[in-house]
Amino acid sequence: MQLGFYVSGTSGSNAEQQLDVLSNDMANANTAGYRAEDTSFSTILSQKVTSGPGNLPAAFGTMGRQYVDMSEGGVRLTSNPLDVALRGNAFLRVRMPDGSVAYTRAGDLRLSGSGKLLTADGKAVLDNSNSPITLPSGNPVIATNGDISVNGHSVGQLGLTAFSDLTKVKKQGGTLLTTPTSNVTAADPKTTSVVQKALESSNVNPILTMTEMMRVLRSYQSTLKVLDQYNKQMSQLNQQVAQVTGN
């Protein structure tokens, strides 16, 4: 019976983590450049279960890891010249508060009072040398390769980065991504492009995500019912043991 409590508890914990991930995806279904998350599961095999009948081996399912859905979202046009949508294996570089570099597909950019190019949440957008980009006054024109010109003069270039292995990418929070430096390379201009006055939508499918949330919730409720039955059986056993001991 102890094994039943353990397996049910593990199942309930996994369902809670899944619901957290799915709820966060739903909350960001309209966030530009957001990447959905998913979860994997792994199995722990116990070679000997001392509390089981005959010390039989048993397997327990447990949460594996969360991974990022790197599929592209749709593109919607805007009228803002600082909005950019990236196509292909390309990501913007941004400076984190601790000085490190993170990556994003959220192209809803803006300018600071001093002309520094920033993300929507105020992080500096970097060029190919990881230096902040500063624009002079004027109308910015952003080419498909990331070159930025103002009033006909080239003033900088977006630092477009690609990932060699998309499975090694992790969420930093919100629309930010991180990956080992060894997994970072320059974006290929032949297979990537920048679209000005456009934003990439979140790649979350609200209908599928809601359906999955309902499925996980039903699974979680079923697990609670199983735990309730184990509790009742344990209480009955305790009462019977007490009666036998009393006799």
> Worst-scoring range by mean pLDDT, 18-27, 47-56, 166-175, 199-208?
47-56
> At residue 247, does pLDDT exceed 90?
no
- In whole angstroms, what is the distance from residue 178 CA to residue 163 CA? 10
Can you give the pTM of this predicted structure? 0.77
**pLDDT tens-digit readout, 45-98:** 455 445 555 555 555 555 556 779 999 999 999 999 999 999 999 999 999 999
Mapping DSSP to helix (H, G, I), strand (E, B) and coil, where does residue 203 land?
A: coil
Closest among 1, 2, 5, 3 to 224, alpha carbons compared: 5
Cβ contacts of 6 within 8 Å, gap of 6 or more: 60
pLDDT tens digits along 149-161: 999 999 999 999 9
Answer for the pair 168, 183: CB distance below 8 angstroms, yes or no.
Answer: yes
**Partners of 16 in the beta sheet?**
none
**Burial, 139: exposed, middle or buried (Cβ in 10 Å; 0-12, 13-18, 19+)?**
exposed
Q: How many CB atoms lie within 10 A of CB 138?
A: 12
End-to-end CA distance of the chain: 25
**Residues 75, 85 contacting (CB under 8 angstroms):** yes
Residue 1's pLDDT band, with cuts at 50, 70 and 90, is very low
Q: Where are the beta strands (DSSP E) in the chain?
A: 37-46, 58-68, 75-77, 84-87, 91-95, 101-104, 110-111, 117-118, 140-142, 147-150, 153-157, 160-163, 170-173, 176-178, 184-186, 193-196, 198-200
